[in-house]
Amino acid sequence: MKFKVGDLVTLSAAGKKTNQNYDVKTGFGIVLLNQAAGEYPIKCAWFGGKKDEFPFKAYELKFFKGAK
């Protein structure tokens, strides 16, 4: 598994193109759950968007790199 519980993530380029991610196009998230199977195996708490929690597929996310 690429992402572990506690990792900070943001949307990848592919995730930004997906219409279903409209409510979380801004901000970042923290991985709450990463299951081995399921249609959307990664569940994140999201900060800075319009939703608090959101499910994702792995390709929709990338690791968050904070401001320098």
Q: pLDDT tens digits, residue range 16-47? A: 999 999 989 889 999 999 998 889 999 999 99
Percent of the chain with pLDDT over 90: 72
Q: Please identify which residue in the block is written with the tokens 């219409």.
A: 19
Q: What is the pLDDT of residue 51?
A: 83
pLDDT reading at 68 higher than 70 = no
Q: Does the residue 1 lie in any domain?
A: no
Does the residue 27 lie in any domain?
Answer: yes
Q: Are 45 and 14 in contact (CB under 8 A)?
A: no
Q: Quick one: pLDDT at residue 1?
A: 72
Q: What is the tally of structural domains in the chain?
A: 1
Q: Which domain holds residue 22?
A: 8-63
* Domain CATH number, residue 21: 2.30.30
